[in-house]
Amino acid sequence: MDQDGRGAGEDGRGERGAGERLLVVDDEPTVRELLAATLRFAGFRVTSAATGAEAVQAARARRPDLILLDVMLPDLDGFQVVRRLRELDRPPVPVLFLTARDSPADKVTGLTLGGDDYVTKPFDLEELLARIRAVLRRTGRPHAPALVVGDLEVDVEGHQVARGGVPVRLSPTEFRLLSYLASQAGRVVSKTRIIEDVWQYDFAGDTSIVDTYVSYLRRKLEASGPRLIHTVHGVGYVLREPR
């Protein structure tokens, strides 16, 4: 995971996730953690599970936009997981199977059950990202409206930001932070909550990264306009329309 969000690709160009919720299900910790980190870096929001039972529970509780599902799990196999989810899913959550089982019969079974794609291990991460984006496009998730606060417009899915009609170029992490603050416009959000929702790791006592990225955003957004992101001392930040 890119803890600071800078370095390679920091200008935000290229196709990235738009905050879609992905559920990664794999019983191998190394594979699960690698996938989760890669997908978060690509802009997705990720939850993970290690067993079929955990996958069913997480899918029903969080309603992901896509499930990356290993077939060979220690309790329920991936096919059984999909059968259980299809009993209640309306509409069904898209599923991309990840497995070392590459026989034609297994592929037919997975796709017949309603899987949207079938990727065999070992796989190339760039190809997997392309497959994920293709499934998300095919499944027709409605386009989310832009977030508008005063003269600021944040197109979450198009990964575009403009202020007063002038485009603003942001790094991936800057964009995630701004999108989050814009979605909470008018509400004071604590630094701890921002760490949990934007960086998606457990709070470890140091919130300085939030202050750093707010400073980056202010420089880019407020160079030619009034302040949008305000500090609430001892609490956190609030993004609101200039008064």
Q: Tell me the per-residue pLDDT of 83-120, one tens digit each, with 9 for 90 and over.
A: 888 776 556 788 999 888 767 777 777 777 768 888 88
CB of 83 closer than 8 Å to CB of 122: no
pTM of the model: 0.53
Q: Are residues 64 and 28 in the same domain?
A: yes
CATH at residue 187: 1.10.10.10
- Length of the chain equals 243
Q: Are residues 123 and 187 in the same domain?
A: no
Q: In a 3-state reduction of DSSP, which class is residue 121?
A: coil
Instruction: With respect to residue 8, please indicate whether it lies within any of the assigned structural domains.
Output: no
User: Given this model, what pLDDT does residue 41 score?
Assistant: 85
Instruction: With respect to residue 10, please indicate whether it lies within any of the assigned structural domains.
Output: no
CATH at residue 66: 3.40.50.2300
Instruction: With respect to residue 3, please indicate whether it lies within any of the assigned structural domains.
Output: no
User: Based on the structure, what is the number of domains in the chain?
Assistant: 2
Residue whose C-alpha is closest to residue 104's, from 114, 95, 96, 112: 112
Q: Are residues 28 and 129 in the same domain?
A: yes
Q: Are residues 106 and 159 in the same domain?
A: no
| Mean pLDDT value of segment 2-31 | 61
Instruction: With respect to residue 16, please indicate whether it lies within any of the assigned structural domains.
Output: no
Per-residue pLDDT tens over the stretch 58-73: 888 778 889 999 988 9
Per-residue pLDDT tens over the stretch 192-221: 889 888 886 655 567 888 999 999 999 999
Q: Are residues 134 and 153 in the same domain?
A: no
Instruction: With respect to residue 5, please indicate whether it lies within any of the assigned structural domains.
Output: no
Instruction: With respect to residue 13, please indicate whether it lies within any of the assigned structural domains.
Output: no
The percentage of the chain sitting over the pLDDT mark of 90, rounded to a whole number, equals: 35
Any idea what the Cα angle at residue 227 is, between residues 225 and 231, rounded to 5°? 165
Top pLDDT among 142 and 224 is at 224
- Which residues are within 8 A (CB) of 151 and not within 5 positions of it... i.e. 6 or more apart? 163, 164, 165, 225
Domain end position, chosen among 138, 163, 192: 138
Q: Are residues 82 and 166 in the same domain?
A: no
Domain end position, chosen among 103, 138, 173: 138
In the predicted model, is pLDDT for residue 11 greater than 60? Answer: no
Q: Are residues 161 and 201 in the same domain?
A: yes
Domain coverage including residue 228: 147-239
Per-residue pLDDT tens over the stretch 26-62: 999 999 999 999 998 888 889 999 999 999 988 887 7
Q: Are residues 88 and 128 in the same domain?
A: yes
